[in-house]
């Protein structure tokens, strides 16, 4: 079956599976612990450099220190705003992923019921394919092995074509309102997967991360420069890098669909799998 005979979501999925350039690459942002370690190290080093500068041959005067304090406060305020802004971006994307998981479960459940409007043989075929499709969607959320996920993507694309073929031939043979409901429902099922994948690709831009990191480095350097006695306050030099590093790691954790501890659990899909009459246990079988 060609892409021209598929709805938008299914066609997009087939193109994505056949084009590695569309795949979301794994980066440092997908490892929150590594984000914390790198951020903490960079910021601590920036503070140490700032603290070393104050002990140079030309120590700053009292007026210069006051000017540095004003700039320091402004940069720290900007850093706080950027962290809050990026945190809000990450939370909104996490909420979007949860909403699309719920939408997928609703679309699959509705189409499973509507499949009964088809002739008996096609109804059973459509429901069997939907059960297999549901298992693939559960694998997408619960499986974190790259090789297995690639196989799941290929299987999902193949199921898209087979599911659409069932409703397509019925729509051609019996073009009526009843069959139209199953066609519309199947289109929602296939498009829902595309919306989910788009939401997983929708990450905080790299430019936002870079801006936040640059401002954090500058603010920590200014904090180190503003210390009157850097050696006696060397433990205080750990506080700001620690706090900012934890903030960066939390943002990365929420923003990463598969990395870290904060993930979207497919509770709606699991509940649907448990409620489908024919062999719900098969959905949870990882094979």
Buried b (16+ CB within 10 A) or exposed e, 197-212: bebbeebbeeeebeeb
Determine the pLDDT at residue 11.
47
Determine the pLDDT at residue 146.
83
pTM: 0.80
Q: Which of 81, 79, 86 is nearest to 244 (CA)?
A: 79
Q: What percent of the chain has pLDDT over 90?
A: 63
Q: Dihedral (C-alpha) 172, 176, 182, 184: value to the nearest 10 degrees?
A: 90
In the predicted model, is pLDDT for residue 124 greater than 90? yes
Which pLDDT tens digit goes with each residue over 154-175? 999 999 999 999 999 999 988 8
CB-based contacts of 196-203 (< 8 A; 24+ apart in sequence): 196/97, 196/100, 196/101, 196/103, 196/104, 197/13, 197/16, 199/93, 199/96, 199/97, 199/100, 200/24, 200/97, 200/257, 201/24, 202/93, 202/96, 203/29, 203/93, 203/255, 203/256
In the predicted model, is pLDDT for residue 287 greater than 80? no
Secondary structure (3-state) at 143 = coil
In the predicted model, is pLDDT for residue 231 greater than 60? no
Angle between helices 120-142 and 267-275 (to 10 degrees): 150
Q: What percent of the chain has pLDDT over 70?
A: 81
Q: Which H or E run includes 111?
A: helix 62-114
């Amino acid at each position: 079956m060609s892409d021209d005979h598929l709805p938008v979501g299914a066609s997009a999925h087939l193109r994505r599976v056949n084009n590695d350039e569309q795949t979301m690459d794994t980066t440092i942002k997908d490892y929150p612990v590594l984000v914390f370690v790198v951020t903490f190290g960079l910021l601590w080093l920036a503070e140490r450099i700032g603290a070393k500068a104050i002990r140079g041959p030309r120590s700053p005067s009292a007026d210069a220190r006051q000017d540095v304090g004003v700039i320091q406060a402004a940069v720290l305020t900007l850093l706080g705003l950027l962290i809050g802004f990026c945190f809000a971006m990450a939370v909104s994307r996490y909420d979007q992923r949860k909403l699309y998981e719920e939408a997928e479960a609703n679309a699959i459940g509705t189409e499973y019921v509507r499949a009964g409007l088809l002739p008996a043989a096609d109804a059973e075929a459509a429901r069997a394919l939907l059960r297999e499709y549901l298992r693939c969607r559960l694998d997408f959320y619960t499986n974190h092995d790259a090789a297995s996920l690639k196989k799941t993507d290929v299987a999902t694309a193949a199921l898209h074509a087979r599911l659409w073929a069932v409703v397509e031939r019925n729509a051609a043979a019996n073009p009526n309102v009843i069959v139209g409901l199953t066609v519309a429902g199947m289109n929602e099922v296939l498009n829902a997967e595309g919306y989910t994948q788009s939401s997983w690709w929708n990450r905080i831009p790299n430019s936002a991360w870079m801006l936040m990191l640059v401002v954090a480095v500058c603010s920590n350097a200014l904090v180190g420069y503003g210390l009157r006695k850097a050696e006696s306050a060397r433990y205080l030099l750990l506080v700001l890098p620690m706090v900012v590093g934890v903030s960066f790691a939390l943002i990365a954790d929420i923003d990463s669909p598969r990395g870290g501890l904060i993930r979207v659990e497919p509770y709606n899909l699991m509940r649907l799998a448990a409620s489908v009459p024919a062999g719900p246990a098969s959905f949870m079988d990882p094979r």
